[in-house]
Amino acid sequence: MSSETELTRLSATALAARIRNGDVTATEAVEAHLERIDERDGEINAFVTVCAEAARDAAAEADAALEDGADVGPLHGVPLALKDLGALKAGVRHTYGSALFANHVADRTSAIVQRLEDAGAIVIGKTNTPELGHKGTTDNEVIGATASPIDPDLNAGGSSGGSAAALAAGMAPIATGSDAGGSLRIPAAACGVYGFKPTFGLVPDDGRPSAFGRELQHTTKGPMTRTVADAALLLSIMADPHPDDPNSVPVEIDYRDAVERSIDDYRIAYSPDLDVFPVADEVRAVVDDAVTAFADAGATVDEISVDHGYSMAELSEAAMPAYTTSVLESATVMEEAHGVDFRAQSDEVSDSLLAMLHVADDHGPADVARSGIVRTGVYDAVQDVLADYDLLVAPTLSAADVSLHADLEAEAWEWPMTWPFNWTGHPVASAPAGLTERGGPVGLQLVGRRFADDDVLAVSAALERERPWDGLYD
C-alpha cells in the first residue's frame, strides 16, 4: 500500500491524531487526497469544485500553527468535502446542483461549515447533488451523474451522492450532507459508507433568506463518514443551538462516549420491510444476516411489525404533496432571492425537477393537510415501537441495483425506505450491511428515539465492531 493510499484510507480521527503527533503533516494529508481525486474522480464524478490551492494554503497554515505550539482543534488538518447544497463557504462556487447557478459564488459561510473549520478541518472541495437536492439519485445538468465507487455502473444515490462517493473512493475522510427524504442515508447505503440524520433541531441550519423551509419534511444536515467514531466526532462539533436557526434545540448529548458503550441491555426491533415496502430477496438476505450482529454484541433482537396500518399506495400518495411542496418552497425561495425562473429557463433545468414542480402546482393546502394525518399515523406507530424497544432497524433501500442513469418513477417512493423518518423527525443512521451476491451495496437503517442519537451511535458502533465494513473500499 502506497503512503498516499494509506493516508486516504485513514479515518478522520486517526488522521487528525497523526497530524497532531507530527507523524504526518497537514500538507501531506491534503496532497494525498488531491492526488486521489485526480486518480479517481474522472470515473466517479463526485466533485463539482476542487479547492486545491485554497486547501494547500490552509494546510500550510495548519502546519505552521503546530510548529508554533498552538492549541488546535480535533479536526486539525483533516480534509473535508462539502455538499454543494446548503454547505456554503464564502468565496467558493456553490451551484445547488443547478446549471442556473453554475457560476454562483457563496458570499457567506454556513454555521456548520464554520464550526468544522474552527475545529481545524480543511475544505478540499464541493460535492455533487441533484438540482436543489430534489431526488434520490445524483445526476444534474452541471456535471452529470455520480457513480458508486463500489460499482461505477450504479448511481451513488442522492441527494448527498457526491459526498458519499468521495468518502468511499478515498477522496475525502469526512463530508457533509443533508436529508429531506433520505439524502444522507440513500447515498450512504449506495456507496457503503455511514450517514447520520440527527434528530430534527440538533444540528443547526442558518439558511437564508428563508429560515422556515425545513418543517414540512424535517430536513436536517448531518455528517457522512466511513466510521461511526468519525460521525460521532463530527456531531460533537456540528450540533448545538444557533441563534439563526428557529428550529434549534438545546439538548446535550455525549456523542463520542456513546461509541464505546455496551449494548448488552438493548432491545432492538427488526422490521424487514416497514410492513409494506417491496424489499428484494437479495437485499432481505443481506439484512437478515447483518441483524444477527446485534445479538452477537449482546442485544435482544425481535422481528416485529410496525403496524402503521397503511398500504404502500396510501403512504406514497400522502408523501407526494408534502415532498413536492417542500421542493416547490425551495425553488420559490431561490427565485425570489436570485431572480431566476426555473420554468421559464427550462432548457437549463433537470426534467425531473420540472416535473416535480408541476406536480406540486397541482397540490394545495388541503392535500398537504390530509397528508399530515397519514404522517401522524406513521409517527404514532414508530413511537409505539420505540416505547418497547431502544431501536428500530430496517433496510435503507429496497433494492441494490439502481443504475447510474436511472430514471425512477414509481420506484422513487418504493426504493428508499428513508422518507417516513423525515416525517417523524427521529434520529436515523444508515450503516453498511454488506453486498448482495451480485455485488450491490446494502444499507441498514438504525432508528432511535427522538434525542437519543447516542443510542443510534452506540448500536451502530457495535455493528461496526461485529461486522467491519472497511473491506468495502479498495
Query: What's residue 5's pLDDT?
Result: 66
Q: Does residue 397 form part of some domain?
A: yes
83 is catalytic: yes
Query: What's residue 212's pLDDT?
Result: 78
Query: What's residue 213's pLDDT?
Result: 67
Q: Does residue 168 form part of some domain?
A: yes
Q: Does residue 473 form part of some domain?
A: no
- From 160, 183, 271, 371, the catalytic residue: 183
Query: Which tens digit of pLDDT belongs to each residue from 287-341?
Result: 999 999 999 999 999 999 999 999 999 999 999 998 999 999 999 999 999 999 9
pTM: 0.97
Q: Does residue 474 form part of some domain?
A: no
Query: Which tens digit of pLDDT belongs to each residue from 372-405?
Result: 999 999 999 999 999 999 999 999 999 999 999 9
Query: What's residue 1's pLDDT?
Result: 39
- From 98, 159, 326, 330, the catalytic residue: 159
Q: Does residue 256 form part of some domain?
A: yes
CB-CB neighbours of 245 under 10 Å: 17
CB 346 within 8 A of CB 354: yes
Residues 6+ apart with CB under 8 A from 369: none
Chain mean pLDDT for the chain: 95
Q: Higher model confidence: residue 4 or residue 447?
A: 447
- From 11, 83, 98, 460, the catalytic residue: 83
CB 349 within 8 A of CB 99: yes
CB-CB neighbours of 73 under 10 Å: 18
**Rounded distance between C-alpha atoms, residue 113 and residue 123, angstroms:** 9
Query: What's residue 2's pLDDT?
Result: 47
Q: Does residue 471 form part of some domain?
A: no
3 is catalytic: no
Q: Print the domain residue range for 360.
A: 1-466
Q: Could you give the 3-state DSSP secondary structure of residue 262?
A: coil
Q: Does residue 227 form part of some domain?
A: yes
183 is catalytic: yes
How many domains would you assign to the chain? 1
The answer to whether the peptide bond before residue 468 is cis (omega within 30 degrees of 0) is no
The amino acid at 383: Q
Q: Does residue 134 form part of some domain?
A: yes
Q: Where residue 234 sits, what CATH number does that domain have?
A: 3.90.1300.10
